[in-house]
Amino acid sequence: MASKYSKDLLLTMYRKMYLMRRFEERAGQQYGLGKIAGFCHLYIGQEAVAAGVEAAIRPDDYMLSGYRDHAQPLARGSDAGMVMAELFGRTGGYSKGKGGSMHIFDIENHFYGGYGIVGAQIGLAAGMAFASRYRNEDRVTVCYFGDAAANQGIFHETLNMAAKWKLPVLYICENNRYGMGTAIARVAAVPEIHKRGDAYGIRHEAADGMDVLKMYESVKDAVEYIRAGNGPVLMEANTYRFRGHSMADPATYRTKQEVEDERKNDPIPRLKDYAIKQGLAKEEEFDAIEAEVKEQVDAAVKFADESPEPSLDELWKDTIVEEGEEDVRPRERVLGVKVTRWPKYPSGQELKVTWDLEPREQAEKADKAAGLKR
């Protein structure tokens, strides 16, 4: 049977996953060399999730994540050198070295940040989705968070509102089974996180986060549903991180056997095998992609290394917007590349708000039923 996937799709997904993997391996190495400091949470093992999502959404859809946030922007198209420079704390980074590993922001590519407070981005995502509806845009907001984040209050508070107001947001819980050293089953009354969607009456489902094609299918379906105006979806991507929680974590809370077993599911060789078996691509084509990506990552490290540390006067910038201050377009600033995808929002005069959050007839009916007069 011929594959229903195009060669282009498979190779694009492969290239993205391979880039994420190589980038993170190099990041780990640079951490070991002392060039990256602080926390450094690697994404190794989870690549199928980001690659599958990216293939299924539009480039102008919004995205946010937690602190494990180097790889998802790479899948979006962020510059690997600028992400690496951010990890190094250099001016060439997306945030000029002020955000570091846990706070990658690439607004040009609609990546609205990594956040260091577990779960905090869940609320922001609802606000961004709210803005899309407010402006009658058909954008979807994709929000990544971990299994542990689902136990935060903001998760419950936000899902309630997102469901009630049918906000166009896709919540993707990357369930890698651990929050730092705590297995999710030890702290969650219902460890299948997606089932919590029932409490808010929203569509929810589990997805295979170790298989990029399955991930792609699940997300494509969910995004279609969201774009059609049906409200949020809570998707649990079952995945696994091959490394510790961060570079500082030797991960002694799980057995060697467990990790070895999971490594057999490595999504990257899995996709390669599939494509070759289907006769969609040859070994050499993958070799070529891998060689290109390796060069790209080498260049990224070199770029980061050569980028200067921020000057001390940077301390006093980027805290308060001064009147008349222009926005910074980082790729223009750092690479001199003309930015074309910088978002442009309608001014208040152009904007017509037609959305009825709580239609009046409905409200009046509810009042009447309760015997109230407005």
**Shortest distance in whole angstroms from residue 178 CB to ligand TPP:** 6
Which residues of this protein are in contact with ligand TPP, per CB under 6 A? 68, 116-118, 146-149, 174, 176, 178-180, 245
**Partner whose footprint covers residue 211, from ligand TPP, other proteins, none (CB < 5 to 8 Å by kind):** none
Which residues of this protein are in contact with other proteins, per CB under 8 A? 62, 93-99, 103, 105-107, 112-113, 115-117, 120, 122-132, 134, 153-154, 157-158, 160-161, 164, 317-321, 327-330, 343, 345, 347-349, 351-360, 363, 374
**CA 134, 103, 26, 144 torsion: positive or negative?**
negative
**Shortest distance in whole angstroms from residue 287 CB to other proteins:** 37
Alpha carbon dihedral 127, 131, 134, 139, in 10-degree steps, equals -120
* Nearest in space to 83 (alpha carbons), one of 33, 38, 20: 20
**Shortest distance in whole angstroms from residue 219 CB to ligand TPP:** 18
Q: What whole-number distance in Å separates Cα of residue 300 and Cα of residue 73?
A: 14
Q: What whole-number distance in Å separates Cα of residue 199 and Cα of residue 344?
A: 36
**Partner whose footprint covers residue 123, from ligand TPP, other proteins, none (CB < 5 to 8 Å by kind):** other proteins
Nearer to other proteins, 122 or 215 (CB): 122
* Nearest in space to 48 (alpha carbons), one of 76, 22, 18: 18
Bridge partners of 343?
none
Nearer to other proteins, 81 or 244 (CB): 81
**Partner whose footprint covers residue 124, from other proteins, ligand TPP, none (CB < 5 to 8 Å by kind):** other proteins
**Partner whose footprint covers residue 148, from ligand TPP, other proteins, none (CB < 5 to 8 Å by kind):** ligand TPP
Nearer to other proteins, 31 or 130 (CB): 130
Q: What whole-number distance in Å separates Cα of residue 69 and Cα of residue 43?
A: 8
127: DSSP letter: H
Q: Which residue, judged by CB position, is nearest to ligand TPP in the bound state?
A: 146
* Nearest in space to 94 (alpha carbons), one of 354, 257, 329, 364: 329
Nearer to other proteins, 157 or 224 (CB): 157
Helix (H) or strand (E) holding 310: none
At residue 206, φ and ψ (nearest 5 deg) are: -95, 145
